Structure 1
Amino acid sequence: MGIEEVLAAARAGSGRLSPAELLAAQAAGALVVDTRTPAHREEQGEFPGALVIDRTVLEWRLDPTCPWRIPEAVDADRLVVVVCRHGFSSSLAAASLRAVGLHRATDLAGGVEAWIAAGLPVHRGPVDLRT
């Protein structure tokens, strides 16, 4: 199986969100997690309201049963939306979160590129970095 098949399987039934849907979900309390590299965040801008969590520790920080979770990771039913640059690695990350029990985890279709293309804001200020 190649990466295209893996990506398709990761996205199957995930309910990926458009930029407008993510904006509404965020207003309703969805947890948005930015997994982009520092270089990509510098280039594109910071995602408003997102927690920045390195992809290498994502599952440990968001699994409500894990001793290394962040304080916001208290409920497996919470909507978690992962964002990345183009919406590819975020699909794989969301699938991994669903595999550890976060059944509502999904991602932003088209990534931050789609967010910016929709005319939605990014900023240059500080981030909520979780290590």
Structure 2
Amino acid sequence: MTVEDMLAAARSTLDRVDPAGAQTLQQEGALIVDIRPEANRAAEGEIPGAVVIERIHLEWRLDPAGSHRLPQVRPGQAVVVVCNEGYASSLAAADLRRLGVEATDLDGGFRAWKAAGLPVQEGPSPAVP
């Protein structure tokens, strides 16, 4: 199996959203989760209201049955995972779905959000430990 195969398999489980769709989901109560490294967030900015969770902590902080779950994560809440361009986020969202999280990812990542002219704030915000 190649990484392209892994990506295709992950995406086959997702209903990916475009930037406008992600913004709509956020307005309806979805949690936007930014998994980008601090350097990217500092250089390019962040989506207002997004929760920053480094990839290494992602499953621990969003596991519906986990003791390390973030308090703002509600059962059944939609989660949109965001990376730079929408590759790592697809793999991460597929992993979250295996945990029972209603996860998807932002097609094109943060850069698509920014290119669409949607709100961006200066970063980096601290990541959730």
Runs of 4+ in 1 over 6 A off after TM superposition: none
Query: Offset at 1:74?
Result: 3.0
**Residue ranges of structure 1 left out of the alignment (5+ in a row):** none
Q: Which amino acid aligns with 1:31?
A: L
Q: 3-state SS of the aligned residue for 2:47?
A: coil
Distance of 1:100 and 1:13 partners within structure 2: 13
- Provide the residue aligned with 2:121 in structure 1: 123
Residues 87 and 110 of structure 1 are in contact (CA less than 8 Å); yes or no, is this contact kept in structure 2? yes
TM-score after normalising by structure 2: 0.95
Query: Offset at 1:123?
Result: 0.8
Q: Which amino acid aligns with 1:106?
A: T
Change (3 A) 1:125 1:54: closer
Query: Offset at 1:80?
Result: 0.5
Distance of 2:109 and 2:48 partners within structure 1: 13
Change (3 A) 1:7 1:126: closer
Q: Which amino acid aligns with 2:95?
A: S
Residue 29, structure 1, aligned to residue 29, structure 2: yes
Q: 3-state SS of the aligned residue for 1:112?
A: helix
What whole-Å deviation, never above 9, does each CA across 1:64-121 have from its counterpart, x for those lacking one? 210111102231x21000000010000000000001111x200000001100111112
TM-score after normalising by structure 1: 0.93
Q: Which amino acid aligns with 1:85?
A: N
Query: Offset at 1:126?
Result: 6.3
Identity percentage over the alignment?
Answer: 52
Residue 110, structure 1, aligned to residue 108, structure 2: yes
**Residue ranges of structure 2 left out of the alignment (5+ in a row):** none
What count of residue pairs does the alignment treat as equivalent?
A: 129
**Within 5 A, what are the aligned runs for 1:19-58?**
19-58=19-58
Q: 3-state SS of the aligned residue for 2:33?
A: strand
Residues 82 and 90 of structure 1 are in contact (CA less than 8 Å); yes or no, is this contact kept in structure 2? yes
